[in-house]
Amino acid sequence: MDIKRKQYQYLCTLADTGNFHQAADKLFITQPTLSLAIKKMEKELGTALFKRSRTTLTPTEAGEIMIAYAKKILNLEEKMEQELQQLKTTHVSQLRIGTYQILYSGIIPSLVAALRKEKPSLQIKTKHMHDQILESALFNNLLDVILCIQNRKNPFFDTIPLKKEYVLVAIVPTHPACRKAQYRDDLPYPYLDIHALNHEPAFFQFKGQQIRWQQTKLIEEAKFEPSSIEEVDSINLAIRLASEGLGVAFTMRSYVPAMTIHKPIRYFITGNTETAPILSICTLRNRSKEPLLRTCIRIIKRILTENKGD
């Protein structure tokens, strides 16, 4: 996406929400970034686009004209991309797929085998990456489809939600907190209030990994207070350390089948179940209906159904 198109997207989203904070949230950018972009547009045009007050944000006359044309331009570009993409689909010979390393070995072999069975001449390229790099690769058209965990929908992607991706805390079966767990019919694992593990050593992953976002939420939103935090890159290693009774570790619902733990371990859902992220298949906007990507999405759904870790 070029700079001009980004400006139009910023402008229309701000007009739709009437609020810098909400617009920035929808656009996955910071509020200062959005504010600077709008000011830059106003400077280039030599006129204000919005009337600002403490409680309201309304378009000026110039802003209304600009917003109307920006929406038309974005709609025309979207239609153009759809038609060009439809033209290209008959000639597609390559599919680029990405996911997290922890899901990679459990899903990619079956996916590649099924795709080659249906599309023998298809060239398939696969990658595993951490969360932010994965979404960036899709956004920059370096991948065609990704399997990822979404905290919120990205406006530049087509998102196919699959299931809630609960955060699981892992502790040894002899831990006293196990007795505080609640069994609920609506959850695939027992629920344990994270405060039952306050003042325990915790193993976290590095920043940039999807699960680190969830661990940070436990501290900032749920007010989890571990006695110490040790960072390790591998979730599997963290769970193994927890199985030795060295502290608590965390994983996600769909990661459990990939765990290779040789000692007893218990998993409990923790945190806010209402705001749990979603395991999703994502493509660039308007691409999910392409025949090849629809085939890929259908196969991923089938594999995940067959490989349930609940």
Domain with CATH 3.40.190.10 in the chain: 92-163+278-307, 167-269
Question: Tokens 């992953």 identify what position?
Answer: 205
- Give the right CATH number for 167-269 from 3.30.1330.10, 3.40.190.10, 3.40.50.620, 3.40.50.300: 3.40.190.10
Are 190 and 182 within 8 A, CB to CB? Answer: yes
Report how far residue 14's alpha carbon sits from residue 94's, in angstroms, rounded to the nearest whole number.
Answer: 37
Question: Residue 67 corresponds to which amino acid?
Answer: I
Q: Is the pLDDT of residue 84 over 80?
A: no
Report how far residue 157's alpha carbon sits from residue 279's, in angstroms, rounded to the nearest whole number.
Answer: 14
DSSP letter assigned to residue 286:
T
Whether pTM > 0.75 for this model: the answer is no
Report how far residue 1's alpha carbon sits from residue 12's, in angstroms, rounded to the nearest whole number.
Answer: 16
- Give the right CATH number for 92-163+278-307 from 3.40.190.10, 3.40.50.300, 3.90.1150.10, 3.40.50.10240: 3.40.190.10
Write out pLDDT tens, residues 207-245.
888 899 999 999 999 999 999 999 999 999 999 999 999
Q: What is the pLDDT of residue 54?
A: 76
Q: C-alpha angle with apex 231: 136 to 99, nearest 5 degrees?
A: 30
Q: Is the pLDDT of residue 2 over 50?
A: no
